[in-house]
Structures are given as C-alpha cells and as structure tokens.
Amino acid sequence: MSSSQSPNPKIDGRVRRAQQKRRERRAQVLEAARRIFAQKGYHATSITDIIDAAGIARGTFYLYFDTKRAIFDELLDLFFQLLTREVRPVDVAPGARPPVEQLAGIVRHVLDTLFANRDLARILLREAVGLDAEFDRKLAEFYGRVLAVVQHALATGHRIGLVRRCNIAVTSTCILGSVKEIVYHLAVEADVGDLFDLDAVTREVLDFNLYGLFLPGDRKLPA
C-alpha cells in the first residue's frame, strides 16, 4: 500500500472524536427533552424549551431532529424497548424456577423499569394516549404483546395443573387492566404513598391476580 493510501492516525482520531461528540450532544438533547416533556407535557413543550434546557443553538437541534414529534417518538420507542425486554413468557422446562417465582421476578423487573424511568412512563401514560393513530397503533401493539404473554402463562398454568379452568381472554384482560392501573399510579400520581414499596406492590399484584380476595373455601360464587 502506498503512503497516500495509508490511514492517517491524526485524521482517524479527529473523526472518532467528532463522532463521539455528536453522540454525546444528541444524548444531551434527548435527556433535556425527556425532562421538559415530563414537566410540561408534550403539547405545552416547544422546541425552544428543549433548546434552552439542553443549552444548545437552534441549528444544533435540527442536526439531530427534524421536529418536536421526532424526538418525542424516539423517547417513547426507547421506553417501549425497555419494557418489552422485561415481558417474557414463563419457562416451564425441567429445572426452571417455579412459575410463581418467575412471575414475581417479571413483575418486579417491570416495576423497577417503570420506577427508574418514571418520567418516560409519565409521558407515555399522561401525554401520548390519543396523540394520533400511529402512536395509538404502537401502544396497542405493545399491550397486545403483554396480553399474549399473560394468555400464554394462563394456558400453560392450566395445562400443568396450576391454574383453574377460566375464560383466558377475559381473565388475561382483567390481569392486564389491574397492572395498568398500578402502573398509572406509580408513574403519574404525585403522591402514591405505599405504592413505592415495590416489594409490597409486587406481592399484592401477584396475590390479587393469582388468588383473588376471598379466603380458601369461600371463593365459589353463588349460582
């Protein structure tokens, strides 16, 4: 290889530093938008608000994002990815942990993710619902994935003798609804009191959805 074709370490170093700076600046803009959206809401937030919070020039913002909606979508996509990673089927293979332990782990990991990203959850639950048809489709797909996992868990539990016979479609929707309401209070309500004891919340979510409210022997409904 001739000297004219040899890599120039100085140029390569400058390129890497420039790329790293762009990544850091983009992350800075995302973080600023995340804070402002959570504080003011999507509709009340302007690009100027984000620019001021990030401490950048307007032109710098447009290097990374075309619109306010573009940065909003990216934040919500990130949140969906975080949550989807935690929602997984129960493993009933030989040697796997007991299903109830796995369910407790899944619920706790989801709650931990929500609590650690409470601002993103607040944006999703308070600001984004009904934003437009495209976002509603994304949200429906996410909840559909969660519902499918719950339905699979119920069907598997029934097959191996852990879950009573039930209407899986109705029961899984009830479970999802109760969890969504807990999530809403964790993410949106300013004062949720005991809900911040995530171990207690995990236990209560599982106790309620697995065992109901009545004591053993009193659970049968009148005909």
Q: Is residue 220 part of a domain?
A: no
Please give the helix or strand (H or E) that residue 110 lies within, else none: helix 99-116
Banded model confidence at residue 1, pLDDT cuts 50, 70, 90: very low
Whether the predicted model's global pTM rises above the 0.95 cut = no
Q: Are residues 49 and 88 in the same domain?
A: no
Please give the helix or strand (H or E) that residue 206 lies within, else none: helix 198-211
Nearest CA among 84, 138, 83, 135 for reference residue 112: 83
For residue 167, what are the contacts with CB-CB under 8 A and spacing of at least 6? Answer: none
pLDDT of residue 215 exceeding 50: yes
Whole-angstrom Cα distance, residue 69 to residue 67? 5
Give the start-end residues of each E strand in the chain: none
Q: Are residues 79 and 48 in the same domain?
A: no
Q: Are residues 135 and 61 in the same domain?
A: no
Q: What is the pLDDT of residues 32-47, one digit of tens each?
A: 999 998 888 888 899 9
Instruction: Tell me how many degrees the CA angle 36-40-46 measures, rounded to the nearest 5.
Output: 70
Q: Are residues 73 and 58 in the same domain?
A: no
Q: Is residue 222 part of a domain?
A: no
Give the chain's domain count: 2
The structure tokens listed for 12 are: 């390569």
Q: Are residues 153 and 76 in the same domain?
A: yes
